[in-house]
Amino acid sequence: MLCEECKFWEAKEGNPTAGHCHRHAPTSTSLAPTGESKVIRTLWPRTGARDWCGEWEPKVEVEPEVSY
């Protein structure tokens, strides 16, 4: 039950061992103070392919619809 096998996980382009969890909405995060203001970004949680959590669900492969 690893992130890389979960339907909510999306691998980072160019790096299949890192990605983002899309199970819940992205959250606002204060990245670093810059002078008197803070940098706020809204991000999906970063996870590794081998990480896991209690909300894992298997990926479901969907066959493309064939039209004749």
pLDDT (tens digit per residue) in 11-50: 999 999 999 999 999 998 876 666 666 778 888 999 999 9
User: Which of the four pLDDT bands, split at 50, 70 and 90, describes residue 64?
Assistant: confident
28/58 Cα distance (integer angstroms):
27
Contact 30, 38 (CB under 8 A): yes
Query: What is the residue whose two structure tokens read 């103070």?
Result: 33
27 forms beta bridges with: 43
| φ, ψ dihedrals at 59, nearest 5° | -70, 140
The pLDDT value recorded for residue 58 is 93
Per-residue pLDDT band at 51 (split at 50, 70, 90):
very high
Q: 21: which strand partners?
A: 9
Q: Is the pTM of this model over 0.75?
A: no
| Nearest by Cα to 6 from 15, 14, 36, 20 | 20
